[in-house]
Every structure is written in structure tokens, then in C-alpha cells.
Amino acid sequence: MYYYNVHDIVKIQSEVVLYELEYFATESFDNPDLSVKVSSRIPGGISLSRSITKPKPWDPSYIAYSEHLGSLGAKFSIEFSDEIIITVNKMISRSKHVLYVNLVEPILRFMMISRNHVLLHSACVDLGGHGLLLSAPPDTGKTTTVLKCIKNGFAFLSDDMTIIRLPNEALCFPKPMTISAHTFQTAVDVSDGRSNTGGMRIRSLVHSKGGRSFMHRLAEYNVPIFTLNAIGQIVVKPPKFNVQKILNSVNIQKSTKVESLYFLERKGNECIILDTESALSTALENSDDAFLFPPYKDLLEHISINGQSAIALLTDERRMLEKFLSKINCFKLKSDTRSWYNMITSYTESKIR
């Protein structure tokens, strides 16, 4: 059994190792908020489509997901009670990245909201007590920028998701980084002989923005998408690495007071100050993009945490995020040459002086 305590906000117990939560690994505890289990006894057989059902009419908090292949494909169930229990079959348990990203993290997002926190799709670094958030669509260059920041003295909090606590605090969430072949060559320390990127190119291609877009389009058709995704990531593992293993020196900081949020874009060469409403719209768009892979949309109408529906929780998330953004500076950074690091350091160092 594996145990993870995420800043004393959510405690997770799992029969499957969750590599994305390795930073939060701890000793065993009682009364987890979320449990992940593995079982072959999940309702649902061979069918003509994927579906979410409520196989226990006397227990509306229990739902089950199955696809065309029944027990040969991906199956899971979720029980929304005081302790949320996610039960998966062996196929999903073997694809640990899919288990976390497509099941655990979406539920974790809603649990965070119910506990007055926001799990925001963004990176976070700190320089001299000045906390900075970086947000961008996939494959823009955010991770490369974060690595450049770390190599030049910034403390690291997160690369993909950051926990936000009002009024303006960020808590670290140091998941493994998704490293493209380009990022590996330009920003990773390769003094230990890891300069051979042949395998990285294949893994990067499969898990690139194009690869994800293809899977999103495929999901619109009546195919066993969860099964295909799980098998694909068992065969071709995502290019994910802990930051401590790709840089020689990293300072992981637990929390920071956020001063600025930068939205990174490739086209143009300018810095635009954003009002709160514009920043909120972009932040939500980027964050939603991280959660939209199936079965997220199908789950929305069934989620219930502490008596709150997914829609009510998302409304609370929007309210909290709006308050947070109103307390900080928000910018859109445009750079044709991906020079966001230079733009960020120039502004931050001027503030420190």
C-alpha cells in the first residue's frame, strides 16, 4: 500500500504506486480522503459502447465505467462517499500514468475545491521571495522556461499543476516533468551521459500535442478510448522525469506568495498587462484543457463531493480563482523566439532591486 499526504489537504491511500505524487509519499495513516484500489469485480460486460452506469440502485453514490471489451478493456468504479474510493481493473493499474492523469487528478481537482483550494494548471517558481506562475497551452515551451529558471537560481514549486490558497499563496506540487526531445537537448543537464535522445524522440512524438489531439479526435467516435490510451502508454511510456534527476541542483520550495502570473504565447514579441477578467478566462481555458480527456466529461454529471455537484464546485473554483487573480499582476508574454525566460527575469530582477 502507498500513502500520500498532499499538504494536509487531501490524504490518499493507493494499492498502486502513483509516481506523480511521489513527493508527498509518507508513512501509513488511517481515514484516507481518497483510496485507489484494484479489483476484477467491477460491474459491466461486453457492450456496443462505453458507458457510466449506476449498478446499485440503492446506492446512487456508486458509479461504474466500462467499454466495449468488458473485462478485457478498461473498467473502473467510483464511490462518492466520505471516503472517495476509485477501483480500477488490472489493465488500468498497469498504466499508472493514465490512472493518475485521467482518474485520480480530475477527482483530486474537485476535492481541492471542496477544501477551498484550486488545483491550477500552471508552473510555479520563486526568486528571492517573489512567486511567479507560468501558464501556457501544451507544447508551448513552458517546461523549457521553467528549467532555465531553475538553472539560474530560481526555486522550484511545480511544472504542471500548482495548488492555490487564497489570498495569494501557492503550494508546491512537484510532479515529474514531461520532457520533449527539444527540451532534453536545450535545457537538461546531460553531464552524466544522458545525451542519447533517440528513444526520447519517439516518446515525445507519441505524447506530443499532435498525439494528444489525435486521441481527443478519436474520443469523439464510438471507440474504447480509455483502453486504447492505457495500452498505448503501457507500450510507449510518457517521457516523464523527476526534476532532481534531470538537473544537477534543484531547490524545491514548499510555498510562496505569488506576485505575478505570466501567460506564454509564441506569436509576437511584447508584454501585455491583463485585467482580472481576461486573466481568469485564459487561466480557466488552459486549466480545463488539462482535464478534458475522456472520461472526464462523462464523469461531470455524476461527481458529488460533500453534497456538492461538479457544476457547483466549478463555480466555487471560478470564484476563488477570480479573487486570487485580483490580488496579483497578470501578463501575457509573446515571443517568436521563445525568449520568455529573459523577459521574466528582466521584470523580476527590476522588482527585487
Which range, 43-47, 109-113, 232-236, has the best average confidence (pLDDT)? 109-113
Domain ranges of the chain: 2-352
Across the chain, what does the average pLDDT equal? 88
> 123: Cβ–Cβ under 8 A, 6 or more apart, which residues?
133, 134, 135, 142, 143, 145, 146, 158, 159, 160, 162
Q: Is the domain covering 2-352 a CATH 1.10.10.10 domain?
A: no
Q: Is the peptide bond before 224 cis (omega within 30 degrees of 0)?
A: no
pLDDT digits (tens, 9 = 90+) for 31-53: 999 999 999 999 988 888 888 99
Q: Tell me the C-alpha distance between 315 and 320, whole Å.
A: 9
pLDDT digits (tens, 9 = 90+) for 1-27: 999 999 999 999 999 999 999 999 999
> 162: Cβ–Cβ under 8 A, 6 or more apart, which residues?
119, 120, 122, 123, 124, 133, 170, 171, 172, 173
The pTM (predicted TM-score) of the whole model is 0.91
Q: What is the pLDDT of residue 208?
A: 56
- Give the orientation angle of helix 198-206 with respect to helix 209-219, to 10 degrees: 30
Q: What is the pLDDT of residue 119?
A: 96
